[in-house]
C-alpha cells in the first residue's frame, strides 16, 4: 500500500469552519475517496498549517486519477476555497506530495 502526505494552509481564523465542514463531509465525497482506494486518511492542524496523510490501496497514481476526474472534487475545492489555501500540482491537480524521509514500522 502506497502512502501519501500533503500540506496546505487554512486562512487565519478559519479553523472552526474548516473542522465543521469536515465533520459534515458530504457522503458523496466519502464514497469517492473510498472508490479511489484511500484508507486511513487523517488531517492534522498546527495553527494555520494542515498536514494530511492517507494510504492508497490501489496506488497513488490511481487515487490521484480518480480524484482528478471527479466533478465532486471540483465541487469540494470550490466549497473550500474561501477558507483553504491550496497550491495544487499543475500536472496532477492534487496537493503536492511530501517527500518521506523516515519511517518506523
22 is catalytic: yes
Provide the CB-side half-sphere exposure for 8 (13 A, CA). 22
Q: Which of 22, 39, 81, 87 is catalytic?
A: 22
SS3 call for 98: coil
Active-site residue numbers? 22
Amino acid at each position: 500500500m502506497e502512502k501519501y502526505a500533503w500540506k496546505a494552509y487554512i486562512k487565519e481564523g478559519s479553523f472552526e469552519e474548516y473542522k465543521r465542514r469536515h465533520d459534515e463531509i458530504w457522503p458523496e465525497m466519502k464514497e469517492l475517496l473510498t472508490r479511489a482506494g484511500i484508507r486511513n486518511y487523517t488531517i492534522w492542524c498546527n495553527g494555520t498549517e494542515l498536514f494530511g496523510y492517507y494510504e492508497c490501496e490501489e496506488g497513488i497514481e490511481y487515487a490521484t486519477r480518480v480524484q482528478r476526474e471527479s466533478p465532486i472534487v471540483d465541487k469540494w475545492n470550490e466549497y473550500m476555497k474561501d477558507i483553504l489555501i491550496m497550491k495544487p500540482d499543475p500536472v496532477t491537480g492534487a496537493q503536492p506530495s511530501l517527500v518521506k524521509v523516515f519511517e518506523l514500522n
